Amino acid sequence: MVKKSILAATAALMLAAPIAAPAAPAPSETIVLAGGCFWGMEGTFEHVKGVTSVVSGYAGGSAADATYDRVSTERTGHAEAIRVTFDPSKVSLGQIMQVYFVVAHDSTQKNGQYPDEGPSYRSAVFPQTPAQKAFVAAYIKGLNSRPPLQGRVATRIESGGFYPAEAYHQDFMRKNPTHGYIQRWDVPRVKKLKVTYPALYRD
């Protein structure tokens, strides 16, 4: 796990030098993000202003294998992921990336996040357009080119379909706020979002 000092420095770096989103944004945009258990990823992005929908699911494998039991075997090629739909006039792709890299997960962990280990918990972005792919590639290159993340970002850019997870996984954090896993690993992310990016936070 990355030390708090490194995460704090990363946050400061991004706050000081945010990367602008592509010009002429569409009325609505969607991107798929993987960064560990989808419960916390979903719960975090549901608190971002301008995000209109967050769906938990599986990305990077095939539809035939997109079930929790199969993905959990680590043999299907999927990653637990979220599909984030947002209004670019209210929150930019650059800001979505800031939340993703600073708050939502640890981009230096490979094939795992915090207590969860395996390729299904990897750090990966699944761009939905060529413009998104170019933007995310440049963003990751920028992070990897300077401290504190210099050469340490494990986030991959991948392609593949997105398959919604089972109903009981959707809005899991909101529906189960006292769950032990949620309290230990996910509630701190939402608190960090509120402190780090107060202008982007919503209850």
What residues are labeled active site? Answer: 37
User: Residues, the chain, total?
Assistant: 203
Per DSSP, the three-state class of 55 is strand
Query: How many Å apart are CA 35 and CA 193, to the nearest integer?
Result: 16
- In degrees and rounded to multiples of 5, residue 129 shows phi and psi of -145, 160
Close Cβ partners of 157 (under 8 Å, ≥ 6 residues apart): 124, 125, 126, 127, 133, 136, 137, 140
